[in-house]
Amino acid sequence: MNTDKKFRSVVKALSWRFFATSATFIISYFVTGSVGFAMSISLIEVIAKLLLYYLHERVWQLIDWRQQMPMSDEK
């Protein structure tokens, strides 16, 4: 497997996590009113979702999209 694709997946995951975790922090702060709780929630969220996103991306790399699905109305 091409390591460039893996590196791209990591960079893509990191850039998305920055924006998504920022949103999580802001929402958590408004809900809890505590910077400490918001940071704790954001830290747990970033670690869990970074790993899950990378795994999700790698699974999608295994799918061969060139294979055509048979159409139900074909004979």
Domain assignment present for residue 25? The answer is: yes
Domain assignment present for residue 72? The answer is: no
Domain assignment present for residue 71? The answer is: no
Whether residue 64 is predicted with pLDDT greater than 90 in this model: the reply is no
| Tokens 């893996």, located at residue | 6
Domain assignment present for residue 66? The answer is: no
Decide if 57 contacts 9 (C-beta within 8 A). yes
Range of the domain at 16: 3-61
Domain assignment present for residue 67? The answer is: no
Whether residue 1 is predicted with pLDDT greater than 70 in this model: the reply is no
The whole-model pTM stands at: 0.58
Domain assignment present for residue 9? The answer is: yes
Domain assignment present for residue 74? The answer is: no
Question: What tokens does 15 get?
Answer: 């850039």
Please state the domain count of the chain: 1
Q: Provide the pLDDT for residue 71.
A: 65
Classify the C-alpha dihedral 64-48-5-3 as positive or negative. Answer: negative
Domain assignment present for residue 17? The answer is: yes
Q: What is the pLDDT of residues 13-60, one digit of tens each?
A: 788 878 988 999 999 999 999 999 999 999 999 888 878 888 998 999
